[in-house]
Amino acid sequence: MKAAFFGPEATFTDIAVQSVFPEASRVAYRTIPECLEAVKTKQVDMAVVPLENALEGSVNLTVDYLYHEELPPIRAEIIVPIEQHFMVHPANAGAWRETEKIISHSHALAQCHQFLRREFRHAEVEAMGSTAAAAKYVSEHPELKWGAIANEMAAELYGLEIVRRAIHDYPFNHTRFIVLSNEELHIEKTPDFLKSTIMVTLPTDKAGSLHQVLSAFAWRKINLSKLESRPLKTGLGNYFFMIDLNHSLEEKLVRFSLEEIHALGCTVKELGTYYRYMADK
């Protein structure tokens, strides 16, 4: 089974894949859209991409792609605990406080803002495509006094030395990854709980439209665990809504709710019903 993931090797997405699909043949892609296109065109059996971080919120590129493109359903969700470490090339480990530039993914840099402000006011900060890409770059340029923020797997793979561990600002740092596939997946790991995701577009911008949608769930006692708006990209003030339900889309009350929402003139896109899995620490 081939699994596309947001690469290169040793990203947190790679950790998610290895934790839940240890036997899968992993294929790294440079961008999230490339991962999703790979599973859409059946170049791979599944794609694993980041959806939301507990500190920095949703990955907007993933959310927008789920809305605007026709993709396979979500088959699983993987929760990965995130530990960010500061690492340098071994040649520069003795003088790591003299680091001139720090590189990482934009989310990782934001998650470690207080550490950077406290320890490296003098250093330049630059965003890279991923934490692993940053670690790889530092490993290939020992002549530069640069450091990377990444995970322990990246440090081991690219031969970097971790000089400060667990530098993220808040201890509860987790990221949600979703698994998309054209086929049902057999997962041996024990799941946490069942959930579903839909996207709703309101017919017009009028008072009470969103209230009516939420009421369709509320009076049937259907629990929602997430509600988020994103721009439709058709003009200011136009939004769609991403909603997570702690229920299966096949439950009768959920189907009745969706029928009521359709009757209101809303457009509903069902992304799938799936189980949540916790990655190993």
**18 within 8 A of 189, measured Cβ to Cβ:** no
**How would you list the strands of the sheet with 161-164, edge to edge?**
124-128, 101-105, 146-150, 85-88, 161-164
Residue 281 pLDDT = 66
What average pLDDT does the chain have?
95
CATH of the domain at 139: 3.40.190.10
Q: How many domains does the chain contain in total?
A: 3
Q: Which of 115, 177, 217, 241 is catalytic?
A: 177
- Residue 19's closest CA among 79, 84, 105? 79
Structure confidence at residue 165 as a pLDDT band (50, 70, 90):
very high
100-120 residue pLDDT tens: 999 999 999 999 999 999 999
Is 21 one of the catalytic residues? no
Q: Which of 13, 99, 175, 273 is catalytic?
A: 175
Domain range for residue 233?
194-275
Residues 15 and 68 in one domain: yes
- 259: Cβ contacts below 8 Å, ≥ 6 apart: none
Residues 65 and 97 in one domain: no
Is 11 one of the catalytic residues? no
| Measured distance CA(134)–CA(128) in Å, rounded | 6
Instruction: Say whether pLDDT at 206 is over 80.
Output: no
**45 within 8 A of 22, measured Cβ to Cβ:** no
- Of the three residues 150, 181, 212, the one that is the final residue of a domain is 181
Share of the chain above pLDDT 90, in %: 92
Residues 177 and 40 in one domain: yes
Residues 154 and 89 in one domain: yes
Residues 202 and 152 in one domain: no
Structure confidence at residue 93 as a pLDDT band (50, 70, 90):
very high
22-73 residue pLDDT tens: 999 999 999 999 999 999 999 999 999 999 999 889 999 999 999 999 999 9
Residue 192 pLDDT = 87
Residues 93 and 218 in one domain: no
Residues 158 and 177 in one domain: no
